[in-house]
Chains A and B, each alone.
Chain A
């Protein structure tokens, strides 16, 4: 079973700084890492390969540095990595991103066959979760989002069963193969990489493709030009003016807090046993 995993290099959003003058992000302030959800996707692909055979192929769109994120995937156990990198991809929103990735997947599909596509639930920078379902629609395969467990893969029957996380529970869903899964963190624990993987990763050079290496690309659908959405303006969110402090002895504090919150006492009641 050949599994393709889409992976993205992202700035570590916990460190990124906002330039107070321009209200833009200072990307150089944050180190680039493999999107954490994508690490889980690669781990799951490696796990499935160990059971069902085949290859794990990772694919990323991004600047040349994104090769490091691909190396990280090789460390986790991926067999091959491809990077599509070209100025003409730049400025893509999710519609243009899914188009570019789809074009590369189509080529890989043609060359070696793909049975399953995995993505992360979302990327921690753009944080839309829209790219996976977009790719599935373009490939005309079913998307199964928010997967927390792969229950069963029946290669011969050409189908699989997964658990999708939904509000207060999960659903068990069956799909024909190929299909696309987006994975949640609960799906697995990313294991420590064995030494041979680390050594291989350090020297690994992914295949890099430009737009010209892909077939039948409609340039108008790529990058900024192919993006229906644009970022209009950015501004720092309103800083709260700070809490009103409830002073006094513990007993007084409790009384005051009760007075404030019990104005909304209906929230603490029980409505029809729901909730």
Chain B
């Protein structure tokens, strides 16, 4: 492998039901910085069916080029088709760095592509940089339950690939009028030759919890005691149009499903605001939410460890303060809501 042949920073642009999702745009922001440092182009990779028209939107988010494969066979994500398409692009155009969102499908794809083209892949990164002297990509990730950060390097193989957690990088402001080049490619697979088929996609926008993409999370800990306390937290979430999170103890008490659990054995979340109500702040919980932009902790124990992780702390009885907060927020936000919204419980 002649690594000098490999240039440009690529970003996989994930779409869902034809709509580009935010993580790809966030990575264009992060990728722009890397590309500028390396003085190379930033390129998006967009696959799907009837997605061609969205390609030009990516220029305003910083892309210089967009590789597009638009084919009915790519309408729904499948590892076998996407891996082949992306693998072919990599072999043909030779990127130096390739970023993917660490979503279910983004991780699945990146892992398959890494083996397909035999290169290194760093998982779930939260910090990206380049060492210009050595011209090396430095991708860092939390490891061992968040107890340590590790920088992973890929010295002798190209592309240098990483999956990046959603919401960690900032989505850039679109710059109107920015232009670029669209490069269309074809996929050579035929439906008859494929071994997998997506029969149905069930997205329950109302019922399903989507903690990983929530902007605001109101999370309940064992301090809320029982169903009554949990409902009190849910009500605050509803008023804030937020998603309900929970500690493991609350899930184990049967107050909500495992999909709500934040932490080492639950989900890693990075909302703009995280309310931790009656949560003690065990390390297994904190690793799942410590990268939130703003953490607000409410606990009646001034010594609770959660106050070390939080940006703002309130020592108070949740049963007194939460209903007051709900009431005041309701008043303050009245008239601003488009009405009829329920929290994602």
Contacts and interface: CB of A to CB of B under 8 A. Distances in A.
Interface of A: 11, 13-14, 16, 18, 23, 25, 36, 93-95, 98, 124-130, 132-134, 136-138, 141-146, 161, 164-176, 179, 185-186, 227-237, 239-240, 242-246, 250-251, 253-255, 257-258, 260-262, 264-265, 267-270, 273-275
Contacts of B153: 229-232
Interface residues of B, number: 99
Contacts of B25: none
Nearest to B80: A142
Given A14-B283, A169-B208, A250-B320, A234 B150 contact: yes
B145 A124 contact: yes
Interface stretch (B28-36, B171-179, B182-190, B337-345): B337-345
What's the dominant secondary structure at chain B's contact region? Answer: mixed
A237 B310 contact: no
Interface string B143-179: 1111111111111110000000000000000000000
B120 A227 contact: yes
B333 A268 contact: yes
B104 A264 contact: no
Contacts of A243: 295, 297, 307-313
A267 B313 CA distance: 20
B208 A168 contact: yes
Contacts of B152: 229-232
Contacts of A250: 316, 320-321, 324
Given A228-B156, A267-B273, 7 more contacts: A133-B79, A145-B79, A185-B265, A228-B157, A236-B147, A254-B324, A264-B273
Nearest to A166: B104
Interface stretch (B46-54, B62-70, B191-199): B191-199
Contacts of B320: 250
B114 interface: yes
Interface stretch (B37-45, B88-96, B211-219, B227-235): B211-219
A165 B257 CA distance: 15
Given A16-B147, A175-B196, A95 B120 contact: yes
9 contacts: A18-B144, A25-B144, A93-B120, A143-B111, A169-B208, A174-B197, A230-B155, A233-B151, A242-B310
